[in-house]
Chains A and B, each alone.
Chain A
């Protein structure tokens, strides 16, 4: 067999993809690709990527893709959905775009209960610019701009995105947090988020805990340890809001 086992919706011409070795984006996009294959929605999906490492996914899928800046993926994808409600629209962004500079768009889209799916990859730093402190950097974690560890007295505590979205979103919204260390669970969350949009219930939001070996300066073992043990202590994995089940 000379053809690798990749999801059918992936664009084989652009592989190997441009992410760093060991980047969690590849696993998150693998889960998304498998979901697009399973639901058979490749020809009616619009995929929006944000600025940051997530923009390297601009030629990742064989689906219509748009790239915008600084968290504006959410309003652009909202506009596409409002203009053509038949389409399935997915906004894909990082924690810098979604929680820092573009948090207003995320908050307002959740408050309006827009019928879109947002997938946000959280790697606790700004990966593309060299690993600076992001809103999601853990207390005490060393980054380029916090060489002695993040001081919570000065810079506050990490943003808990899904908890925030679950608090402001109305009934019908789906909010969950998955991790790249558990692909089956993550795939289930993303599938439910897209099915929630297809059913027209409301806003769907999935945060993905991901690794950044390049900027964390970790080897493979330390990367998994940080994702599975350190990150999940602060960012609890699971479903926060499911339609019909209340909080």
Chain B
């Protein structure tokens, strides 16, 4: 099964969201130390908004760790 990726390029890293996995629980948003995550126009699997991040992202990977659905993938730029 394939899930469509939405890749967002930031200064500190590459932030990928799979809206087909995001259920819109918001756990990542509450855990983000920089407040970089917000709701987006793209809808997730239950028809709720999927999340997106902005350039405040420091690619720490906490959102990837706490996501119960593995919908987020963060890669730090070296």
Q: Report B50-78 CB contacts with A as 1/0, cut-off 8 Å.
A: 00000000000000111111110100000
Q: For A245, list chain B residues within 8 Å (CB).
A: none
Interface size of A by CB at 8 A reads 33
Contact A21 B31 (CB under 8 A): no
Q: Cβ of B68 and Cβ of A24 under 8 Å apart? A: yes
* Chain A minimum-CB-distance residue to B70: A6
SS of B interface (majority): loop
Whether B8 sits at the interface, judged by CB under 8 Å, is: no
B34 on interface, CB distance cutoff 8 Å: no
User: With contacts defined as CB atoms under 8 Å apart, how many contacts are there between chain A and chain B in the complex?
Assistant: 78
Cα-based distance from A21 to B71 in the complex (angstroms): 12
**Chain A residues closer than 8 Å to B27, beta-carbon distance:** 22, 220, 223-224
Contact (A15, B65) CB under 8 Å given A3-B2, A6-B70: no
Establish whether residues B30 and A224, one from each chain, have CB atoms under 8 Å apart when the complex forms.
Answer: yes
Contact size class for B? 20 to 34
Q: Check A16 against B45 for contact (C-beta < 8 Å).
A: yes
Q: Which of B20, B24, B45, B70 contacts A5 (CB 8 A)?
A: B70
Give the docked Cα–Cα distance between A5 and B73 (Å): 6
Q: Is the CB of B68 within 8 A of A4?
A: no
B46 nearest CB neighbor, chain A only: A21
Provide the bound-state CA to CA distance between A219 and B24, in Å: 11
Interface residues of A in 1-53 (CB under 8 A from B): 1-7, 10, 12-13, 15-17, 19-27, 30
Interface positions, chain B 8-25, Cβ under 8 Å from A, are 16, 18, 20-21, 23-25
A15 touches B1 (CB 8 A): yes
Establish whether residues B69 and A220, one from each chain, have CB atoms under 8 Å apart when the complex forms: no
Q: Which residues of B contact A181 (CB under 8 A)?
A: 66
Q: Pick the contact of A4 from B21, B24, B31 — CB < 8 Å?
A: B21
C-alpha spacing A1/B71, complex, angstroms: 13
With A4-B71, A24-B68, A26-B69 as contacts: A16 and B29 at CB distance below 8 Å: no
A-chain residues with CB within 8 Å of residue B68 when the two chains form the complex: 19, 22-27, 30
1/0 contact string of B19-50 vs chain A (CB within 8 Å):
01101111101110000000000000110100
Over the window 71-106 of chain A, the binary record of Cβ atoms lying under 8 Å from chain B Cβ atoms (1 yes, 0 no) is 000000000000000000000000000000000000
Which B residues touch A20, using CB under 8 A? 23
CA distance A12 to B21 in the complex (A): 11
9 contacts between A and B (CB under 8 A): A4-B21, A5-B64, A16-B69, A17-B69, A27-B66, A27-B68, A180-B66, A183-B65, A220-B27
